[in-house]
Amino acid sequence: MKSVQKRYSFISFLTISILIFPITIIAQNTLSPQDQKLMSDFENQAKAYSRLRESLEEKLPKLSPEATAKEIDAHKVSFQKMVQAARATAKQGDIFVPGASEMIRKIIRSEFNGPERAELRKKVFEAEVQGVAVKVNVPYPDSKEQIDMPPTLLLRLPQLPKQLRYRFVGTNFLLVDRENGLIVDYMTNAIP
């Protein structure tokens, strides 16, 4: 029974991958050569961050499978501090450079126009994110709402390493580390 379930899961994963991969390629190929370069540079900067945080995470003691919530939280805080120290000079715009920010704004504008834009704005501005400090190297509070990115938008945006995710906070567009919660970079005025 388990082998049938594994086979079914693998086939489902494979089918979804086959369907999404061409859509991602088509979405990225509709960009100008200049925007494709900006996208590639952005993705390379995101990967450089990912390599840095992976090398730091390897230095941390491994958590046991029986780790308590307190031990897990302490591990996360240690990880945050290591990354913050390694990126002590990080600033807004290190990854979201001006050209990449403008390209991403264009993608968001083209993805959300008319009623879709109004709906996105409503969703973003109704989110419980008051008090989130939008600063590089500061943790995104666990207690604050995290708005899911629409799948069609994710397909058009630069692809991120698995350790990173996009988030909206007001009109700001953030790059957040999935595991340690740190805001890696952000851009302003992302939503028209």
Instruction: Report whether 127 contacts 166 (CB < 8 A).
Output: no
> What's the confidence (pLDDT) of residue 112?
80
Torsion sign, CA atoms 162, 91, 150, 181? positive
d(CA 169, CA 18): 32
> What's the confidence (pLDDT) of residue 7?
45
What is the mean pLDDT of each successive set of 10 residues along the chain, which is 192 residues long? 46 46 48 90 97 96 92 94 97 96 92 77 77 91 82 92 93 93 95 78
> What's the confidence (pLDDT) of residue 122?
78
What angle in degrees, to the nearest 10, is found between the helix axes of 33-59 and 98-111? 110
Neighbours of 102 (CB within 10 A): 14
**Quick one: DSSP state of residue 174?**
E
> What's the confidence (pLDDT) of residue 68?
94
d(CA 134, CA 140): 8
> What's the confidence (pLDDT) of residue 27?
45
